[in-house]
Amino acid sequence: MRQVEQWMRCIATGLVIPMPLLLLYALAPAEIVMTTVAVLFAAHCLLRRDWNWLRQGWVAAAALLWAQIVLASLLAGQGVMQAAAFVRYFVFVAALQNWVLPDPRARQVLARAYGAVAIWLVAGCWQQYLCGRNFMGYGRWADGALLGPLWAPRAGHALVMTALPGLFPLAIDRARREGVRGRVMAGALLLGLVVTMVLIAQRMPLLRLLLAMGLCGLLVSRLRAVVGVTGVLGAASVALSPLLAPQAYHKLVLNFVAHMQGFADSPYGMLFIRAGVMIERHPWFGLGFDGFRHACPDPAYFHGLSWLGVREGVHGAAVGCNLHPHNFYLLMGTMGGVPAMVLFAAFAACVLARAWRGLGAATATRDPQRLMLAVVCVVVLWPLQSTSSFLTQPTAGWLFMAIGWALACVPPASHLQSVRGRD
């Protein structure tokens, strides 16, 4: 029995390590990996007859959220099977926390894989910027975003999700160990990432990266001056972008200002209003799994939001629709109503509370890996941002990998060490 468990854990670890590469180039296999690891973990718990990991706050919040979405889908008469299968993501998080990543060696290998993918993304972005096309033959996206070594505008989010846990700990460690020389090297690394993100020209990934840098500067004293100088030089790179990357300047500055000045009629504002109307009309149970995508073209939701002072109007009508509302919390609200939004917020709060438990300035300096994973959780779960849907890949993979990895780093990795497979 013990040998079977060891093989199961080895298989699960072997599947998890290449996840950052799969989330770039093989989305269907990434989904299969998450499901397989969840199933293997459930089988492991059955063999061990140990379900103590269920006694955690984030697990309770996730279970209630899942039950609410399943109930909402049953009432809406659509997406019931997809809603039922949604639980696999939370079981995957539990598997990472309690079974796959409590082993420091596995975490170290995963960190190296993330760092290697981050370097690959940076190299691909600069190659496309300098040569005009990436190695696949693609140029910039229609809106001016760099694709890097990919075929779609996903390089910005992927770089944030890989660089924060894969490269930032190296910068913190250099700044801590090597004095002025180390801080200079750390500043060069951070500045390179910021300038690369400016060239990529995706607003939210750039803001997430700057938020992460700010949190690092607050918690790591040796990095504060580095972060400050990097921020100033990053602002200078934006100021020079009209000359060096006009398309990036148009998207990062001009387009952003236009959206903020006329938010209600911007693409993001239209999605926000449409989602708000859906939640207003169905406050208790929403529209079921993936309800926003199905209901967005319905004229019944072509209205304003009186409680926000948004005037009555079609606000883009069907033309203003998308596959999702571009916000995790609104996505939950359209699927399961206000209760689902509250439960997702509770899930996020429980995850953040556990990831940041005991993580003061001294601990953050000694354990930069854990610090950066906690920072990633803040960045991805912050409610006031535009996001992709985590019902599909690659967003689901990046999100739940980060959460499970962050929870696994909390010492002890779980207050339920008995769940781990023992050698």
pLDDT tens profile 315-366: 677 777 889 999 999 999 999 999 999 999 999 999 999 999 988 777 777 8
Which has the closest alpha carbon to 161: 400, 417, 420, 335?
Answer: 400
Task: Please say if the pLDDT value at position 250 is more than 90.
Answer: no
* DSSP β-bridge partners for residue 305: 310
Measured between alpha carbons, how far is 379 from 326 in angstroms, rounded to an integer? 15
Looking at residue 315, its pLDDT comes to 66
Three-state secondary structure call for residue 310: strand
Q: Tell the residue number behind the tokens 């990436």, with chain if given.
A: 134
Find the radius of gyration of the CA atoms of the chain.
Answer: 22
Measured between alpha carbons, how far is 340 from 211 in angstroms, rounded to an integer? 27
pLDDT tens profile 178-205: 888 999 999 999 999 999 999 999 999 9
Q: What are the residue ranges spanned by the domains of the chain? A: 2-50+86-259+356-415
Higher pLDDT pick, 254 / 293: 293
Task: Please say if the pLDDT value at position 414 is more than 70.
Answer: no
Do residues 340 and 71 touch, judged by C-beta distance below 8 A? no
Band of pLDDT at residue 270, cut at 50, 70 and 90:
confident
According to DSSP, residue 392 is labeled S
Do residues 370 and 356 touch, judged by C-beta distance below 8 A? no
Counting residues of the chain whose pLDDT is more than 70, the rounded percentage is: 96
For the chain, counts of helices (H) and of strands (E)? 20, 0
Measured between alpha carbons, how far is 79 from 85 in angstroms, rounded to an integer? 10
| Average confidence score pLDDT of the chain | 91
Q: CB neighbours (10 Å) of residue 297?
A: 14
Measured between alpha carbons, how far is 244 from 25 in angstroms, rounded to an integer? 29
Q: Stretch 100-118: mean pLDDT, rounded?
A: 97
Measured between alpha carbons, how far is 229 from 147 in angstroms, rounded to an integer? 28
Q: Stretch 385-393: mean pLDDT, rounded?
A: 93
Looking at residue 125, its pLDDT comes to 96
Do residues 404 and 92 touch, judged by C-beta distance below 8 A? yes
Task: Please say if the pLDDT value at position 224 is more than 50.
Answer: yes
Looking at residue 43, its pLDDT comes to 95
Looking at residue 413, its pLDDT comes to 45
Looking at residue 179, its pLDDT comes to 83
Task: Please say if the pLDDT value at position 159 is more than 60.
Answer: yes
pLDDT tens profile 20-56: 999 999 999 999 999 999 999 999 999 988 899 999 9
